[in-house]
Chain A
Amino acid sequence: MKTKIYDLLSSVKLTVTLFLVIAASSIFGTIIEQGLTPDKYRQIFGETFFHVLKFFNIFDLYHSWWFTFLLILLSVNLIACTLKQIPRVAKITIKSGKKIDDSLFTSSQIMNTLYFKEPQSDIEKRVSLFLKSISNSLTRVSNNGVFYYFIEKGKFSRFGMILVHVSVLFIFAGGLIGAIWGFGGQMNLVEGGKSDTVYLFGNEGTKKLDFYVACDNFSLKYYKNGIPKEYKTVLTIINEDKEVFKSVIRVNHPLTYKGFKFSQASFGVAGAYNFRVKVINMTTKEENLLTLDMMNKVPVSGNDLSFAVARFESDYMGQGPAALGVLIKPGEEHDIFWLNKNSPIQRGDYVFMLNDFDIVYYSGIQVNKDPGVILVWIGFILIIVGFISSIFFEHIRVWVRVSTEKEGCEISIAASTSKNKDIFKEKINRMITEYLEGETA
């Protein structure tokens, strides 16, 4: 029973099945959008279906219990498999070639026997030329007048495969550590503002840092066609009222402080100030330019009317920036209206137009902490090294036995490769023709 379970857990059948099952179930998470609010899902799927999907955690599929289980099963599979592979690879690489016996010439992947009329010494020269064309490390032993030759190449490639498997474990371990002890969230800092609160992704509340992050300055550059070219934030880290660190972050150029990573992710309009509003009195044709800040009441052209801006939208009803104007007449209800930039609006005797304003941006900063990331990078580097040695190199072994017969001698060749048997077989045959049969033919 125990060995049966172990066999199953270390089997490649399980690996292939898990690969296909994980691939297939991942598809759902790309079709059903992840991380919306429950109400939205109710609206899309209806009440009953919603509960079924919720049980399987389809709305956060990649962190669901069953998806996590699949990944853990794959790791267990990988560990069991690696433990099984290591002794096998050790046996092939350490012992290989040391022990030459006749059974090799009847049980290898590639076998060939040739007969020659020439004396053995002639043939041996050819054999060593033949073998040296593959590799220089030639071993030769004799046993009762029978000579055995052995060469091998690319032994290390066998370890490549193990390295690949071990690096996947590194990556998984790093991912697991990140999932447990790491977090990710967003912080929107208005220019001049500071905060120590990160809003976690996935509606998971907030996290307080034990220091403050301040945005001293945010700046933005555009290309001629209006696409953003560069935006950056001057960030200051403030610890116990002291500035401890100052740095500029741009997209693709984050800042790391105490294991927290601050990346420039987005920006937006937080508000506006210094509104310039033109007011024209239609009867007197008198023009007046008001300059005002938010919620600050100014008189309109010397009489008892006054005007204020109560709100600002960077894109009001898809028509661009607009300010909510309030016209205040003593003893009457306030007249409230939206002023789109550069489009005049008439209220009674007056025409109002929003000429310009200055914008305050907020800088959208992603804050991440991932103590597992170092393992992931190590895994990434090792997997590439492992790949290069396991896929682009092969472990080749060739054995040759030369024995004297009544007339001339007999050569038996055995060879094996860790991959691409057919291609290697062709190569060996070509070399046999070239080095061994060449002169006799």
Chain B
Amino acid sequence: MNDTFIVSIVTFLYFLSAFIFLVSVVFRKDNAEKIATVVAVGGLMLHSLALIIRWIHSYQLGIGHAPLSNFYESLVFFSWSIVFIFLLIRKQYKNSLISMFSVFFAFLILAYVSLSNTLDCQIQPLIPALQSNWLISHVISSFLAYGCFAIAFGLSILYLLKKIINNNIVNLLPDTAFLDEITYKIISIGFVLLTLGIITGAAWADRAWGRYWGWDPKETWSLITWFIYGAFLHARLARGWRGIRMSLISIVGFACVVFTYLGVNYILAGLHSYLEY
């Protein structure tokens, strides 16, 4: 079976799961929450299967490598990471609205992947610089970190909504102190994973270019992101900051994540070529 076809089934399953979570929110049905979770788990399993099939397929093509190398593959894995992290920590909060947003986020990424016609979903051979096991651990830890930050971002938005407006839907959210704490917890896990991502990236750069750090834009932006979340943790733990300020840092942090991931390639690259001519 073709992995891109499985990914389209997974896209549908995530949508279905998000929809059932919504039903469970609106009608306050615990059963629906359970069903939605099962659908999400099923989706994640198929999603993993798609990754494995793609991996095997690349070996059959004689250009074997982990499916983590181009933009298409990284988006698919980003979506996988979000659902994986969400299922891992869901017991901690068990709130359908948060679950719905997490799965919906993963769905949106896959929907973009399926609908975009500029994205190349062919398995491409790896250039020599990318042929490294460090790269695999680097991508996995970075994207798991991004998954944590994505969920924390969603939680921070919900937190702000809950603070600012007051209606029935928002009242379904857990209370703000709890949201605040769970956001902190996810961010601290994300921070460790991001650190691991930066370290494995440094180890890879050291193998490939003989230096572990070179201040290139991608490296620098990952460090900027790291400092923002570092500020988040210290402001909270040692200065006792809570609430809206923390949500804002978390939102800025996620903006940095997105910029590290996309902006560096698409905006800065363009900017530099513009400056040169």
Contacts and interface: CB of A to CB of B under 8 A. Distances in A.
B122 to A, nearest CB: 10
B268 A250 contact: no
Contact of A19 (B196, B228, B268, B275): B228
Interface stretch (A112-120, A273-281, A364-372): A364-372
B272 A33 contact: yes
Contacts of B165: none
A263 interface: yes
B30 to A, nearest CB: 19
Nearest to B200: A380
A251 B126 CA distance: 12
A254 B208 CA distance: 8
Given A223-B63, A251-B129, A16 B239 contact: yes
B181 A423 contact: yes
B275 A30 contact: no
Contacts of A184: 210-211
Interface string A364-400: 0011101001001000100110011001000000000
Contact of B178 (A250, A263, A422): A422
Interface in B226-277: 227-228, 230-231, 234-235, 237-239, 256, 264, 268, 271-272, 275-276
Given A16-B234, A184-B210, A30 B221 contact: yes
A261 B210 contact: yes
Contacts of A376: 202, 212
A388 B271 CA distance: 39
B196 A23 contact: no
A16 B128 contact: no
Interface in A240-265: 250-254, 261-265
Given A23-B228, A380-B202, A391-B189, A175 B213 contact: yes
Contact of A229 (B125, B184, B238): B125
Contacts of B237: 419
Nearest to B214: A184
Interface residues of A, number: 55
A53 interface: no
Interface in A196-228: 223, 225, 227-228
A34 interface: yes
A19 B234 contact: yes
A253 B204 CA distance: 11
B128 A19 contact: no
A228 B212 contact: no
A326 B173 CA distance: 82
29 contacts: A12-B234, A12-B235, A19-B228, A19-B230, A22-B227, A23-B223, A23-B256, A26-B227, A30-B221, A30-B264, A33-B272, A33-B275, A223-B125, A229-B128, A230-B128, A250-B128, A251-B131, A251-B208, A252-B128, A252-B129, A252-B131, A265-B209, A366-B209, A366-B211, A368-B211, A370-B211, A380-B203, A388-B192, A391-B192
Given A23-B231, A251-B129, A262-B210, 4 more contacts: A19-B227, A252-B207, A265-B208, A420-B184
Interface of A: 12-13, 15-16, 19-20, 22-23, 26-27, 29-34, 40, 44, 62, 175, 184, 223, 225, 227-231, 250-254, 261-265, 366-368, 370, 373, 376, 380, 383-384, 387-388, 391, 419-423
